[in-house]
């Protein structure tokens, strides 16, 4: 009986320790896109840069993507068209990995002409809220 208890204790220890031994990691990519979305100020049309970003995302396979210095959309003082941020999801990020990425809500309280956008792997992460300070 003591041998059976020892074996069961050993098996339960192995099962519990293997569950805790598994670790997950997050790959984070920060990318300065230099007025992406503000054609002709940017280096080329959005479609070309969607294809570039698609290739980069396929290669790097990030879980969190911060696109920095993007063009702000028109109602907030920028020159990028409304819906342009969603086109990045459709034609660049989710083109690389279908239905994987989501984007945090757009904010531009300061009315800047360039902004940062945060995209994330929705199979691993979720958006909770925005806090203004």
Residues 30-39 have pLDDT tens digits of: 998 887 777 6
Inside any domain, residue 104: yes
pLDDT in tens, 54-103: 999 999 999 999 988 887 766 655 666 666 678 888 888 998 889 999 98
Inside any domain, residue 62: yes
Residue written as token pair 């041998």: 3
At residue 32, the 3 state secondary structure works out as strand
The token pair at 83 is 């819906």
What pLDDT sits at residue 129?
86
Q: Residue 87, class by beta-carbon neighbours within 10 Å (0-12 exposed, 13-18 middle, 19+ buried)?
A: middle
What pLDDT sits at residue 12?
59
Inside any domain, residue 47: yes
Q: Which residues of 108-124 are buried (b: 16+ CB within 10 A; e: fewer)?
A: beeeebbbbbebbbeee
Inside any domain, residue 16: no
pLDDT at 17 over 70: no
What pLDDT sits at residue 121?
95
What pLDDT sits at residue 40?
62
Q: How far apart are the first and last CA of the chain?
A: 63
Decide if 27 contacts 106 (C-beta within 8 A).
no
Q: What are phi and psi of 52, to 5 degrees?
A: -60, -50
What pLDDT sits at residue 20?
56
Inside any domain, residue 35: yes
Range of the domain at 98: 28-121
Q: What is the arithmetic mean of pLDDT over 107-120?
A: 80
Inside any domain, residue 127: no
Distance set, CA 58 to CA 6, 96, 97, 109, 123 (Å): 49, 6, 8, 32, 16
CA distance 12 to 120: 36
- What is the total count of domains within the chain? 1
What pLDDT sits at residue 16?
60
- Higher-pLDDT residue of 119, 85: 119
What pLDDT sits at residue 30?
93
Percent of the chain residues past pLDDT 90, beyond the cut: 24
């Amino acid at each position: 009986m003591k041998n059976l208890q020892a074996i069961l204790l050993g098996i339960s220890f192995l099962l519990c320790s293997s569950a805790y031994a598994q670790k997950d990691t997050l790959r984070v990519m920060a990318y300065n896109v230099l007025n992406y979305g503000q054609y002709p100020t940017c280096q080329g049309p959005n479609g070309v840069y969607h294809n570039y970003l698609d290739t980069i995302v396929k290669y790097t396979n990030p879980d969190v993507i911060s696109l920095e210095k993007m063009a702000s959309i028109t109602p907030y003082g920028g020159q990028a068209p409304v819906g342009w941020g969603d086109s990045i999801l459709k034609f660049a990020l989710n083109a690389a990995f279908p239905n994987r990425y989501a984007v945090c809500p757009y904010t531009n309280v300061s009315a800047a002409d360039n902004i940062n956008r945060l995209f994330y792997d929705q199979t691993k992460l979720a958006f909770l809220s925005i806090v203004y300070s």
